[in-house]
Amino acid sequence: MSQCNEPTKPDLTKPVDNAPILSCHHAGLTVEGYSRAAVQTYWRIPELKIGFDLGAQPWDFMGTPTWLMSHTHLDHVAALPVYVARRRMMRMEPPTLYLPAECVEDVRRLLLIMQRLDRGRMVCQLNGLRPGDEVNLSRENAITTFATTHTIPSLGYVVWDRRNKLKEEYLGLPGNQIRDLRLSGVPVTREVRMPLVAYTGDSSPAGLDAYPPVFEAKILITELSFIRPNHRREKIHKFGHMHLDDLVERAGRFKNELIICAHFSTRYHPQEVRRILDSKLPPGLRERVKLWI
Ligand SMILES: [Zn+2]
Ligand SMILES: [Zn+2]
């Protein structure tokens, strides 16, 4: 189970503290980040050496070499050139960035313009992705993309744990026979996958509904921009966002061990978020939800 009831602030003795970070540890993974709608969103999972979105770049996040962008709204990408430039300034390897394919050329142009204005080379690897694409992260981990439903091209991401397991039919065989089979070219193993982390970026519920691994990942990081009862849901969905009622309606579908709800609208005070979610989330779901605020 998680090692925190609510996400915690890490120690404040670091030399540069330029952006807020909350942190939570679960199932061998640490989720660090911050997300408020129209302000800034950034997440990272140090154990996987990846981050999602760069609405700002906390100085401490510099060492993370691979970032996946959900979409190009400013609160999710404003610090992309900042991060690329800082990596070079600190003599680190050029980072690898993934983003929706439709945006790659414009982001390349943006980096060139910043290169002219800042007089520093912007060195990075930009990769475009489409829904259904797969990225090999390591031998144990792969990332798949899914279409989210927002107002501009947008993607969600699922990180998978993958293991090679011996096929059923060979389970009883002694080791040397399995080895001989393998050496003779017989595929004795099959890949078994388990969704570890799902990240939705900004999306109306339709984006989550269309990709079942979102509900099965051990850790789900989702936006929950709106929570007040009087908000009109059709309007919220039209603008590509989630309302608390969407979460409550799907309570039975979430198999996740940990559900991080973030990207709350700036109109809400943290106390209001806690109060409304405490009263609306049904038991069984409330214990698994972390309010990232
Ligand atoms: Zn946003
Ligand atoms: Zn957005």
Residue 11 has what pLDDT?
66
pLDDT over threshold 70, residue 255: yes
Distances in whole angstroms, Cα of residue 285 to Cα of each of 4, 13, 129, 250, 282: 16, 35, 32, 10, 6
Ligand closest to CA 38: 1
Rounded distance from Cα 151 to ligand 2 centre (Å)? 7
Look at 132-136, 189-193, 228-232 and tell me which has the smallest mean pLDDT: 228-232
Query: What per-residue confidence (pLDDT) applies to 12?
Result: 64
Say what the pLDDT of residue 13 is: 74
pLDDT of residue 15: 84
For residue 223, give the ligand nearest its CA.
Answer: 1
191 alpha carbon – ligand 2 mean position (Å): 35
Q: What is the pLDDT of residue 279?
A: 96
The pTM is what? Answer: 0.94
Q: Quick one: pLDDT at residue 1?
A: 45
- What is the pLDDT, as a whole number, of residue 3? 47
- Residue 14's pLDDT is 79
Task: Give residue-wise pLDDT tens across range 13-32.
Answer: 778 889 999 999 999 999 99
Cα gap 60→105, rounded to integer Å: 28
**Least distant ligand from the CA of 75:** 1
Kindly give the distance from the C-alpha atom of residue 73 to the centroid of ligand 1, in angstroms, as a whole number: 6
Structure tokens, 252: 């039975």
Tens digits of residue pLDDT in 53-97: 999 999 999 999 999 999 999 999 999 999 999 999 999 999 999
Q: Which two tokens stand for residue 126?
A: 């930009």
Ligand 2 center–CA 213 separation, angstroms: 22
Which one has a higher pLDDT value, 200 or 13?
Answer: 200
Q: How far is the centre of ligand 2, averaged over its atoms, from the C-alpha of 232 (Å)?
A: 18
What pLDDT does residue 184 have? 95
- Which ligand sits nearest to residue 76's alpha carbon? 1
Q: Is the dihedral of CA 100, 103, 109, 111 positive or negative?
A: negative
